[in-house]
Structure 1
């Protein structure tokens, strides 16, 4: 997965549309160290931008036509700025952002856009958010929109809600836009206050195993989990009216509702309350460089996602267990929305190749599937190339 250069993108644009683009934008994918499914509950998350990224090359047109080319799929989609509607394809991540600029009062002209990248789709690394952030950043530059990064993040999130039909939290877009190399971001998803936490990984590497089970967040279960959490908050507000979101709930409050709410709702709530607490403690681990303690928390998060939140799958559980069977792995858990995608693994220096070989062989033998492996390093956020 090599990093693409400006000349690579310029050539790609010329082959698709002839001529040269007005600008090229790079926007990274993200990992989330800990804090899964807490973002839409207005809790805390701890993401980091990664070197794998989406690239878009854009050129303004003189008419109202939008021509999109996804180089990795060799697919083209055309649309009209006067009638932007969801297509049910990858193009919605672009068109949805253009729609948000229109809703914000900007006359969006036609444009030609080429998209490529090296974020594996469906792996839980937020390729969709990276596309949305790249397009938002690019259109803002192209149109002189004057929006700041936070406004662009909110527009990217609204595009996902309106065009892709996924009621996602704000973390993925925020991490892509605000990423900083060698750091994770402690983000309060309610206030959107954030601070950078050092993520130097001394003596360890972050390794992702892709289950190659494709998930689709829009396919019901993600939205069901969100509804279950909202139901839990609503029930607890009858006794604790000051509660606004799950992050206001203590374990003691929740315990008082055991047996007074549906079993599944109680399980979802207990996971989220525990996960917020784990995340804040994990920040202390990173500040003190205690990666062994961080690893223990990653393991607890996977157990919660698998058993209480029920968004794992046999392939992800197997990958996490197979990795943890190796003494050089300090922690392993599934990442992303669930039902497929990747596990993230904290592996000690000097053992990366051995762990990769052992886990990959075991996965092939047990699941009859090949796992793709990515070593990730942190990177800066969305920028002009």
Structure 2
């Protein structure tokens, strides 16, 4: 949806007043999966799909919000007892409350918003929504909140008002995104670095299985526990190891007989994935996208066979990518459904997509959705 369309809808809803317009993107993660809670690296980039919001202060004590895509309205105040019932409105309310908790003054406003980040496809539509409003209020009210704190406001909104104990990556990517660059974020130190991502002659495309298997949340907790157990076991011999990212394969093999086979497999994946992120960083600096692709396949294999968070549909799409000579392909996100992210040479693109759709439909009864993505800028005023 364009800036002009959003302004038009705002004016229809709220007496022809002129609003300010802000946007924030969704994100992809090229590599570094299930590494954030292990104190390791993630490698996200903001994409050319996101949320767009028109906003204007209204001089009352109530926020009046309209979700264009859902055709739903919500009205709520700014104190804790005023929490709205609508799920989507909790994100706006949470951002306001988190700013207030940090000593910021928030004034009530009218707003409409829309998005083109597909819901449930692992591109983080919720972080895009939080970042849009955190960035907008900070800008409009001159609150002077730094970008890291804006990302944390989004994360705290998820924790305290939505009930999702997410890491910082999604909000970080949405706020810090930079066109033509991926961001390597060290989740232990919060240091970050931009790496050029200009794959001339390649496309970055997501294939969405449109399935979500029920295992996701309980399996996530079990894997997190596996990793923490291994790190604790290693740290008895090596006190410097606080997270799995601090451990080497040699250290893991030292304690192999003290942990379960399952914990060993999970930990092997994380230690190898940490190294893969470093390898991809080096490859990107050389413009070596073939190595990037090879590491993506290795990640998929690790997530499927060692971490066991893939599923039949994702493995099927990964196999088709291999058969077509696609440069890189892997499951993106937590797993158990969602998307594969694929780095595809331009000349292979049409035949790969056509064949993936056809074969997937024959096997599962529906086509995967296809999203081409371009690495773009983070939160901003339009």
**TM-score, with length taken from structure 1:** 0.93
CA–CA distance in structure 1, aligned partners of residues 269 and 140 of structure 2? 43
Q: How far is the alpha carbon of 1:152 from its aligned partner?
A: 0.5
**Residues 88 and 164, structure 1, Cα contact 8 Å, conserved in 2:** no
User: Alpha carbons of 1:274 and 1:20: their partners in 2 closer, same or farther (altered >3 Å)?
Assistant: farther
User: Alpha carbons of 1:216 and 1:194: their partners in 2 closer, same or farther (altered >3 Å)?
Assistant: farther
CA–CA distance in structure 1, aligned partners of residues 276 and 243 of structure 2? 17
Structure 1, unpaired ranges of 5+:
none
**Residues 129 and 156, structure 1, Cα contact 8 Å, conserved in 2:** yes
2:161 pairs, out of 138, 160, 163, with 163
Q: Deviations over 1:15-50 (max 9, x none)?
A: 333333542111011111111111222211111111
Residue 343 in 1 paired to residue 340 in 2? yes
**Residues 86 and 163, structure 1, Cα contact 8 Å, conserved in 2:** no
SS at match of 1:333: strand
Q: Deviations over 1:193-218 (max 9, x none)?
A: 21211111022111111111247898
2:371 pairs, out of 358, 374, 383, with 374
CA–CA distance in structure 1, aligned partners of residues 214 and 140 of structure 2? 31
Report the more deviating stretch, 188-197 or 260-269: 260-269
Q: How far is the alpha carbon of 1:382 from its aligned partner?
A: 0.7
Aligned to 2:77: 80
The count of corresponding residues between Structure 1 and Structure 2 is 381
CA–CA distance in structure 2, aligned partners of residues 291 and 133 of structure 1? 30
**Residues 208 and 343, structure 1, Cα contact 8 Å, conserved in 2:** yes
SS at match of 1:50: strand
Report the more deviating stretch, 199-208 or 211-220: 211-220
Q: Deviations over 1:123-167 (max 9, x none)?
A: 011111111111110111232211011111111112112222222
Please show how residues 96-175 of structure 1 align to structure 2 within 5 Å.
96-175=94-173
Residue 280 in 1 paired to residue 278 in 2? yes
CA–CA distance in structure 2, aligned partners of residues 230 and 124 of structure 1? 25
**Residues 3 and 52, structure 2, Cα contact 8 Å, conserved in 1:** no
CA–CA distance in structure 1, aligned partners of residues 242 and 229 of structure 2? 12
Report the more deviating stretch, 210-219 or 148-157: 210-219
Aligned to 2:47: 50
User: Alpha carbons of 1:314 and 1:87: their partners in 2 closer, same or farther (altered >3 Å)?
Assistant: farther
Structure 2, unpaired ranges of 5+:
none
Aligned to 1:353: 350
Please show how residues 21-40 of structure 1 align to structure 2 within 5 Å.
22-40=19-37
Q: How far is the alpha carbon of 1:223 from its aligned partner?
A: 3.9
Q: How far is the alpha carbon of 1:84 from its aligned partner?
A: 4.8
1:59 pairs, out of 46, 56, 59, with 56
CA–CA distance in structure 2, aligned partners of residues 249 and 374 of structure 1? 37
Aligned to 2:320: 322
Structure with more of its chain in helix, by fraction: 2
SS at match of 2:257: coil
User: Alpha carbons of 1:379 and 1:175: their partners in 2 closer, same or farther (altered >3 Å)?
Assistant: same
**Residues 86 and 96, structure 1, Cα contact 8 Å, conserved in 2:** no
Q: How far is the alpha carbon of 1:101 from its aligned partner?
A: 0.7
User: Alpha carbons of 1:234 and 1:368: their partners in 2 closer, same or farther (altered >3 Å)?
Assistant: same
**TM-score, with length taken from structure 2:** 0.94
Aligned to 1:95: 93
2:380 pairs, out of 370, 375, 383, with 383
**Residues 74 and 84, structure 2, Cα contact 8 Å, conserved in 1:** no
